Structure formats: structure tokens, C-alpha cells
Structure 1
Amino acid sequence: MADDRFQSRFAADASLLPHMADLANDRILVALLGEADYRAASFLDQRLLTNRIGREWTGWTALPDLGPAAPRPDFIFHIGHVGSTLVSRLLAEVTGVLPLREPMLLRTLAQVAERIERPESLWSPELYRARLAQAVGWLGRGFAPGQRAMVKASSVITAIADDLTGPDGRALFLTVPLPRYIETILAGEASMAETQTQASARMARLARLLPDFPHALWQLPPVTRVAMSWLCEMASAQRALPPGDPRYLWVDFEAMLADPAAALAAQATHFGLPVDGARIHAALAGPIMRQYSKAPEHGYSPDLRRELQAQAAADHAPAIAEAIAWVEAIAARYKSLGDLPIHGDQEVRCSS
């Protein structure tokens, strides 16, 4: 009876977040959050687990499968460091959706997906598909009837984006032209360190996407590794979130900053959410646009972003040019990459 009561509550109560998975023991850590906790959190990962947050492990099979009728969340995917947290905060402010920023459970599912055809996989392909659908149902719950949930995934989740959105889902994909991406990463010590840490996994993913890939990570200098990261995430998105598919709205974040009100209205329309000009104006005039979205206690702005990019461009010009040329050579080699928007409004058309 107690288990039945818990399952009934879990099915309807977004305050019970399936936070992380322990695959070896087939269990889920369920954390207790209020709606304000969701809205404040920049990351629903291990940083969430302060002493204030109650949590308890429970067996995966003890949690209910909400079934195909469960509300599905909308998604924001991105290549990393391209304003996805800012967009999540703005859309939550403008439309009232429940934001879930980088839920840790999705990282585990992406890791399972990478190994699903290998002998060491803990799950069968059938179990992966069933549990991914189950997890999507969990993340779609709201705090009030009819409240929509919107998941801002981490950048590595793009590889399984098509599995998450399903045939009727809607998603944004945020990107920037390659030069702006490199400059943004170089402008921040933490972002550069993070990108270098993830370079090995991204190189492996890129090599799986591009047959007979002719490069090794050890051959690439640091700035070219940044460019490779952009290429990996763009190639993943082209496969999982094809830009011609009406379910997916590709957004150039640099262009969005030039007219954020129009961009927010278009994004809300894409998700079928109400467009309220007054709320958009209030959100853009408020503190969100003057804060660093991942750490709102620190100031940040589009103008400061541009200043830091310009400084990075000046400080690293030869290395940036070499990195862009490397990506252009890969784009020319692989027709499967289609038209990569390397320079934004100027597309590079791949040949043979």
C-alpha cells in the first residue's frame, strides 16, 4: 500500500525529481524540490545536492511508467556555451513553463546509448528504449494542471535528441558561427578547461559519425580541439535534429542577441506557447539580461560578451584561423555534413 501511494504521488508530483541513476544497482536517486528550486537551479546535477535538498534512493522498477499519454517535455539542445541557460530562463519567465536545466539522468541515458551495441552494455537495446521513454515521461510532469515542462539538456545530449523528442516533440537547437564559438570558449578559463576535458569523448563521437576519419586528438592543437568540438556537436545535430524538420527550430544565438524580443516570440510560437509582448519586454528589461545565467550572482551582458570575444579574436588570431581552416577541410571532405554554417550567414557547401 505504501508503494502504491508513492507511485501515485510520483506520477503526478513534479517535486519528486528522478535526479540520477546508479546503473550497477539499477536504482534512481529521487530528490525533493519545490517549483522555486527548479526555476533557480542552473544545473540539476550533483551541485543540486545540498543539505537542504531531501533525497532517497529507490529501485528503478519501483517507479511508475507513466505511459504514452504522459505529457512530454519540450527541449532546448545546444552546442555548449551558446546562451542556452539564458534562453531557458527567458522562456520560463515569458511563458511560465517549468524549466529543467541539464537533468543528470539524461547524461546517464546518453552514456548508455553510446555503448548499447557493445558487449559491455548493461542494458539491451529494448530496455534502453523503454527506460528512455519512461524517463521522458517523468521529466514532463508539472506542478499545476496543464503546466508545460521544458528541458534544457547539456550539450552532449544532442546525440540522442531524436530519441528524446519523439515524432511529435518540439525542440530548439542553439548554435553560433564557428569563429564566435571559438572566441567565446577562449574568453573563459573555465569554459576552455571544460571543452578540453570533453575533447576526447567528442573526438570519438565525431569519428563514429565520419567514416575513415583521418585525424587523432593528439595531433590537434588546443584551439583546433575547440573547433573540433563545434564540428562534433553540429554534426550530431544535423543527424539528430535535421534543420529542415519543422519540429526543430535552429537558432543562431548571436543573431538572437541582435533582436531578442522577436527571437523569443518566434521560439514561443514554435513551442505553441502564448506570445505576450508585455511579458517579453519585462523579461528583457529585467535582471536576466544583466546576469551570468549559470551563476546569476555575477554580472554579464551581451556587450561584455562581445568585448571578450573581440579580445580573444585579437589574442589568438593565427590559431583561430588554423582551426577554422581545419573544419573547412573536413567539411569539404565529407558530403554527409551537408551545409555547415561555419561563418553564420555564409554557408560552406560540401563537395565529394
Structure 2
Amino acid sequence: MRLTPAIIAASPDHYLHSFEAANAVIVPMDRAAYARSIFLDARISPARDGAALVPAAQLADAAPRAATIAWIFHVAHCGSTLLARALEAMSNGLVLREPMALRQLALEPDPARLRLVLAMLSRRYGGDEPTLVKANVPVNALLPEIAAADPAAPAVLLHLGLEDYALAVLRSPQHRGWVRDIAVRFAGAPAAASDAECLAALWLWQMRAFLAALEALPQAVTLDAERFYAEPASTLTALAPRLGRPAAPARIAEVVAGPLFSTYSKRPGVAFDNAVRLERRGALLREMAGDLADVRRAARSAAPDLTDLEHRIAAAAL
């Protein structure tokens, strides 16, 4: 069967993976392929070989009107993959983790292409549950445009407190390099800024973006990842209905007691649970005491309203 823009637009089996110049890259998928693709970037696991190129402008002409999407926006290294996979395990609704095309648009904004991507991401396999999209950190730069496209969209803004975030994303040279790159690109940090200054700038940029999103998305709530880690069942029970998912107590209990919460969410074969995370966190608290003090000083210097900002984020909690 020859793939036409109309055929591609009609089903999630034809996934808009990314853009190459004037073309959209279409990857063959099915429910099983989406479920096993922990991420939908270069690590995607297609239903079969055979990616196709189609002119993006032609696909835009054929694309359906965007339906409501449920969103997970997050600050990275805060359990967003675990949260998305848990919500996926609780229902039959489609869950899309870190679509590459959205990240591309965060790096090179294009309003017409964003409308196309939102339309393609919003497609469903049936039923009433909205597709759930877990974005990645660069997509936080697109929050105003995403909110404007559908102010009624439900969303959770998953985050960590300032010091908890520092522990999560300054714990290795690789993580520190990521913080520096993202902070300089999106948060206005100077290239010569220290790790603490970059971390503070990145956290503040995202918290301000989340506060603005709360104004633009009345159905959005914040969620401190530490609450999710400590109380996964009650968190899922409260959050799932807000994102259009069922919250059957027996199923939630089964998911929380199962392998998803005893293995690393990004690498299912690796043992990892909250007890291991807390042990690591305790060690990092001792090792990084100086870093944490530097981060708090940098944040207070950059944001005299830091305490108020933290209170406003907490006040919007699930």
C-alpha cells in the first residue's frame, strides 16, 4: 500500500518521528512498539523497518484537528519516565515518551510545524482517554505555545525542590555537563557561570515557566517528585483521573508492587527502587553539602523572590 499523507494522518500506526529539512520522518508503529519504546527519539523501537519521508507541508494539509493531549512536563531526573510508564500500565491509552519532533521544535521553533506535531501526537487508538505525552526539558521552552494551542489540556508539572534538584543533576561530571549546556541554551546562564549558578538558573527558568503554565492551563497541577517516590500509590490515585486515566485501586496496587517500581525505569533489566535511591541521596547529601550551599546562594542572588516562588509552586501541588 502506498502511504499517502491522508493515510499517514489517519492512524498512530504512522508516527511522526522527526523532521529532515522539508520532510517529516514517518516511522511504522503499533501499540506494542509504543509500549516498548522507552523513548521516542533515536532509541525508538519501531513495529518494523521502513521509515518513510513525506513533505511536511503535505502532511500538515492532511492532518486532523488536534485533540486534547494530557501532558507530563518535568525538570529531568525526577521520575518522569517512571510516572509515564506507571500511568501507561494502568490503562489502554497511548503514552508517548519524549517525542523527538517536539524537542526539535524547542531548539528551532516553527509555529506551523508545532501545530502539525500536536495534531499527530494527539491521535488515539480509540476510547475516551487522551494520549499522554511526556515531554523532555527543552520542551519547557514551548510551554506558552502548547498552552495556547489547548488551554483546557490537563497537565502535571513534575519537579524537585532546589536542593533535591541539585542532588539529582549535579551528581556526576556527565550530569553537570548537561546542566551547563541546557542552562546556557535556555536559561540565560553565561558560558563562564559556575555549576551552582547554572543549576540555579536552570531550576529558576523551569519554575517560572511552570508558574506561567499554571496560569495558562487551569487543569494543570504541580507534583514534587519526592512525594511520588515516597507515596506512589496515593499519588497515582490522585493524578490519574486528572490526566484522563482510570484509577482502579487493585490495578494501582499491582503496578506499584510489580517490577516497574523495583527496576530502573529507563533500563528495565536493572534493579533499582526507592530504597536504593534514598541510600544514594543520603550519600550525596554528605558529599555535596558545599555544592548545595552554593546553589542556594546562587538562587537567592538571582531571584530575590525565591521563597515566594517556592511557596507558589507548592501551593499548586496535586
Q: So what's the TM-score if we normalise by structure 2?
A: 0.89
Counting only pairs closer than 5 Å after superposition, residues 264-343 of structure 1 correspond to structure 2 as 264-332=236-304, 339-341=308-310
Q: Which 5+ residue runs of structure 1 have no aligned equivalent?
A: 114-127, 207-215, 347-352
Counting only pairs closer than 5 Å after superposition, residues 13-162 of structure 1 correspond to structure 2 as 13-22=11-20, 25-48=21-44, 53-63=49-59, 64-68=61-65, 70-113=66-109, 128-162=110-144
Give the C-alpha shift of residue 322 in structure 1: 1.2
Give the C-alpha shift of residue 45 in structure 1: 0.8
Q: Deviations over 1:6-35 (max 9, x none)?
A: 23322221111110112xx31111111221
CA 1:344–1:161 in 2, change beyond 3 Å: closer, same or farther?
closer
Q: Deviations over 1:86-143 (max 9, x none)?
A: 1000011113221111101001221233xxxxxxxxxxxxxx4333222111001123
Counting only pairs closer than 5 Å after superposition, residues 143-182 of structure 1 correspond to structure 2 as 143-165=125-147, 166-182=150-166
Distance 1:186 1:297 in 2: 25
Distance 1:73 1:270 in 2: 12
Distance 2:33 2:257 in 1: 23
Q: Is 1:227 aligned with 2:224? A: no
The answer (yes or no) to whether the contact 1:178–1:343 under 8 Å persists in 2 is: no
Give the C-alpha shift of residue 58 in structure 1: 1.3
Distance 1:168 1:255 in 2: 25
The answer (yes or no) to whether the contact 1:18–1:28 under 8 Å persists in 2 is: yes
CA 1:140–1:112 in 2, change beyond 3 Å: closer, same or farther?
same
RMSD: 2.7
The answer (yes or no) to whether the contact 1:16–1:30 under 8 Å persists in 2 is: yes
Q: 1:178 is matched by which residue type in structure 2?
A: L
Paired residues in the alignment total 313
Query: Secondary structure of 1:81's partner?
Result: coil
Distance 1:308 1:279 in 2: 29
Give the C-alpha shift of residue 59 in structure 1: 0.7
The answer for the alignment partner of 1:350 in structure 2 is none
Distance 1:130 1:59 in 2: 13
Q: Deviations over 1:228-253 (max 9, x none)?
A: 221222122222x1269532111001
Distance 1:173 1:237 in 2: 7
The answer (yes or no) to whether the contact 1:100–1:149 under 8 Å persists in 2 is: yes
Q: Is 1:263 aligned with 2:235? A: yes
Query: Secondary structure of 1:167's partner?
Result: coil
Distance 1:178 1:55 in 2: 42
Distance 1:188 1:242 in 2: 32
Q: So what's the TM-score if we normalise by structure 1?
A: 0.80
Give the C-alpha shift of residue 175 in structure 1: 0.3
The answer for the alignment partner of 1:211 in structure 2 is none
Distance 1:20 1:280 in 2: 34
Distance 1:109 1:54 in 2: 24
Q: 2:290 is matched by which residue type in structure 1?
A: P
Distance 2:313 2:68 in 1: 32
CA 1:339–1:170 in 2, change beyond 3 Å: closer, same or farther?
same
Q: Give the % identical residues.
A: 27
Q: Which 5+ residue runs of structure 2 have no aligned equivalent?
A: none
Distance 1:172 1:151 in 2: 11
Give the C-alpha shift of residue 160 in structure 1: 1.2
The answer (yes or no) to whether the contact 1:72–1:136 under 8 Å persists in 2 is: no
The answer (yes or no) to whether the contact 2:41–2:100 under 8 Å persists in 1 is: yes
Question: Quick one: which of 8, 11, 14 aligns to 2:9?
Answer: 11
Q: Deviations over 1:148-185 (max 9, x none)?
A: 31110011101212322422211111001111111112
The answer (yes or no) to whether the contact 1:95–1:268 under 8 Å persists in 2 is: no
The answer (yes or no) to whether the contact 1:133–1:164 under 8 Å persists in 2 is: no
